[in-house]
Amino acid sequence: MNKDKNQKNKKNKLIAIAMLLLVVILGLLVLLVNNKKSNEEDDKTLAYTELINEITNENVEKIEMTVGSTSLKVKMKGVDEEKKAIVPNTEAFIELVQAKVAEGKDIELIQNPRGFLEQAGSTFISLLPTLIMVALFIMLFKMQGLGEKGKIYDDTERRTKVKFDDVAGLDEEKEELIEIVDFLKRPERFVKMGAKIPRGVLLYGKPGTGKTLIAKAIAGEADVPFISMSGSEFIEMFAGLGASRVRKLFDKARKLSPCIVFIDEIDAIGSRRTSNSGAETENNQTLNQLLVEMDGFSSEETIIVLAATNRPEMLDKALLRPGRFDRQITIPTPDLNGRLDILKIHSKEKRLSNDVNLESVAEDTAGFTGAELANILNEAAIIATKKKHEEIENEDIEEAVKKVVVGIEKHSRVLSEHDKKLTAYHEAGHAVVSQYLPTQTPVKEVSIIPRGVTGGYTLYKSNEDKYYISKTEMKEKLIVLLGGRAGEKIAINDISTGASNDIEVATQIARDMVTKYGMTDSLGPIDLKGKEDYELQLFGETIGDKVGEEVKNLIDEAYVNAQQLLIQHRDKLDAIAQTLLEKEKINESEFNQIFNS
Ligand code: ADP
Ligand code: MG
Ligand code: ZN
């Protein structure tokens, strides 16, 4: 693998150098030729003022120009040889000539469509710096391997070996997708029956839930090529390149049919078309090309387009029309059984000690995606190796879970004694508050040992999987999140940046409560999530203000509640914080001991 990559890198560098040389030589050549030409042709060139004079004096018979170019060919009356002229502004010049024609002067104005060759001369020179830049950019892309991302996987060596068995959980989704596998394998049966097969399937789901994996599995099961590309590649592309990339992608697909085309992060090109400004126009071109390609499929072409996104609300509605992505499948985060299956699959090639209980790991990781679970097992293997364990032990896995969970919170790093005290009261604040809220899960561990970018953390026992979360539970979650800041405020009468992640999460939850779950009385059960201002106005002039007001109310209320709880239980807050300052870390049983004393 590595050797392969090295060779590829070398090859890329060679290509880059060759391209650079080519561009430089070409540039020099054009310069030379043009220089010579312009010396010879000096007397054949008309200055602009001369040209205007000649036109006014009716000496000009015909003017030929290329659209968009400032150089013209001028044929004078009674002279065979054509002269050249450069105009400062083509549009102004055309208007001027048309005015003369309207005055009754006899001039023929020919506008040729833009052609590369006609322009090759002077335009090429002026474009040269740009061309060199473009070439350099392309080289950079290639050398960084960015070009590789969009690489089209070839049918022969690049067939994916992923099968449905490699995708854990998602049984219902697989069932729904198996029909596509059948279609790819034997399209004629479906055609004969007159059955309509979806052309495009949209996979919705959080990052890491296995969308790419399941798309590959479909290709693997049907044993057809998997051609993929990611929407985010288009974002920084040069004008017009996006659309042509899409065209090439589908040209390739038609050659390799039957096959799967996979477009990852389709929201990057398929965002709702709103205005016509710069980057968006470019996006629109790309999106339009995609729509054109999908609409143009003929019935003999067995191509299924799969696309993935984690922001379905962003998508342009045109993508969802019949014949396009008319089937949508939600890929959920795995439930308990799903997590266990994923853990089993990813521990197959790892050496697990007998004391590892994957069931309990699955129980502890509610809300985790497949990618996070795979990551935990991999981290565990690394930790076990570092600790020189013979096998991956339970403590290695617990450590890995912590690493993945805590990686999410971002408190600032503890430095001074003062910071340490702040952190202790911050974490104690979270922990103590949660202890008094019935819907919240018990504390598992509290720590003020910095971890990565984190100053401290409080871990809770995992929730069992739930389909619904109540309003009470969400409100109490807000109180726990603000408990950190409340702890700092009450004990030290100061607040820190350590709460920034808590505040971010709390605000998101509060906003969801208001706009997505309709949990406030003043707004009621109306879906307001992600709506543009003009859409909000449908519900009343001031609805946008009301949303903000309600979010603020929820947060304020939670902050007040957190402070009240901590004032009421100040002894517990102090006890936990003091213990943290002494021991830096408190586990579940130590925590309960302090609490019950
Ligand atoms: P997405 O495309 O939804 O962001 P991926 O398909 O790229 O997620 O998943 C990343 C990795 O996570 C996969 O390569 C696989 O190792 C693991 N993974 C995710 N979901 C599953 C699953 N359901 N079963 C097994 N592995 C999974
Ligand atoms: Mg993916
Ligand atoms: Zn916090």
Looking up residue 173, the CATH number of its domain turns out to be 3.40.50.300
Task: Using the CB atoms, write b or e for 252-290: b if 16+ within 10 Å.
Answer: bbbebbbbbbbbbbbbbbbbeeeeeeeeeebbbbbbbbb
Ligand 1 centroid to Cα of residue 203, in Å, is: 13
The pLDDT tens digits of the residues spanning 97-134 come to: 777 777 777 878 777 766 444 445 556 667 777 777 77
Which class for 239: exposed (0-12), middle (13-18), buried (19 or more C-beta within 10 A)? exposed
Is the Cβ–Cβ distance between 321 and 291 less than 8 Å? no
Q: Between vectors from CA 504 to CA 366 and to CA 427, what angle results, nearest 5°?
A: 70
Domain shared by 323 and 341, yes or no: no
Same domain, 441 and 529: yes
Domain assignment present for residue 423? The answer is yes
Q: Are 513 and 565 within one domain?
A: yes
Which residue is closest in CA terms to ligand 1's atom 7? Answer: 212
Residue 143 lies in a domain: no
> In this structure, what DSSP letter does residue 68 have?
T
The per-residue pLDDT for 85 is 80
144 found inside a domain:
no
Q: Which residues of the chain have pLDDT under 50?
A: 1-5, 37-41, 115-119, 144-157, 277, 408-412, 414
Which domain-ending residue is among 382, 405, 428?
Answer: 405
- Which residue range is the domain that position 96 belongs to? 2-118
Residue ending a domain, choose from 359, 383, 405: 405
Among all bound ligands, the one having the nearest atom to the CA of 310 is 1
pLDDT tens, residue by residue, 424-446: 999 999 999 999 999 998 998 99
- Residue 170 near ligand 1, beta carbon < 6 Å: yes
Q: Give how many domains the chain has, as a whole number.
A: 4
Q: Tokens at residue 271, please?
A: 């965002």
pLDDT in the model for residue 201: 94
342 in contact with ligand 1, CB cutoff 6 A:
yes
- In a mutational test of the pocket of ligand 1, which residue from 166, 170, 213, 266 has the highest number of ligand atoms less than 8 Å from its CB? 213
The tokens of 571 are what?
A: 């002894």
Q: Is the CB of 370 under 6 A from ligand 1?
A: yes
Q: Do 469 and 325 share a structural domain?
A: no
Does residue 85 line the site of ligand 1, with CB under 6 A? no
pLDDT the model gives residue 452: 60
* 431 found inside a domain: yes
Q: Pick from 405, 432, 464: which residue ends a domain? A: 405
- List beta partners, residue 308: 203
Ligand 1 contacts CB of residue 306 (under 6 A): no
84 phi, psi to nearest 5 deg = -110, 155
From 233, 379, 409, 427, active-site residue:
427
User: Is there a single domain that holds both residue 482 and residue 398?
Assistant: no
**Residue 131, in any domain of the structure:** no
Please report the pLDDT score of residue 235 as a whole number: 65
What pLDDT, on the 0 to 100 scale, is given for residue 418? 85
Task: Write down the number of H helices and E strands in the chain.
Answer: 22, 13
Task: Kindly state whether residues 591 and 443 are assigned to the same domain.
Answer: yes
140 occurs within a structural domain: no
* Ligand 1 mean position, distance from CA 342 (Å): 9
Same domain, 324 and 443: no
Residue 176 designated active-site: no
In a shared domain, residues 451 and 540: yes
Q: Which atom of ligand 1 is nearest to the CA of 206?
A: 3
- Supply the CATH number for residue 93's domain: 3.30.720.210
Distance 148 CA to ligand 1 centre (A): 21
Same-domain status, 193 and 307: yes
CATH code of the domain containing 566: 1.20.58.760
What does the pLDDT read at residue 284?
A: 77
299 and 354 co-located in one domain: no
Q: Same domain, yes or no, for 380 and 449?
A: no
Answer yes or no: do 44 and 69 share one domain. yes
Answer yes or no: is 386 within a domain: yes
**What helix, strand, coil percent values describe the chain, rounded to 5?**
55, 10, 30
In a domain, 134, yes or no: no
Kindly give the distance from the C-alpha atom of residue 373 to the centroid of ligand 1, in angstroms, as a whole number: 9
- Widest Cα–Cα separation across the chain: 114
Ligand number, closest to the Cα atom of 167? 1
Looking at all shown ligands, the one closest to residue 162's CA atom is 1
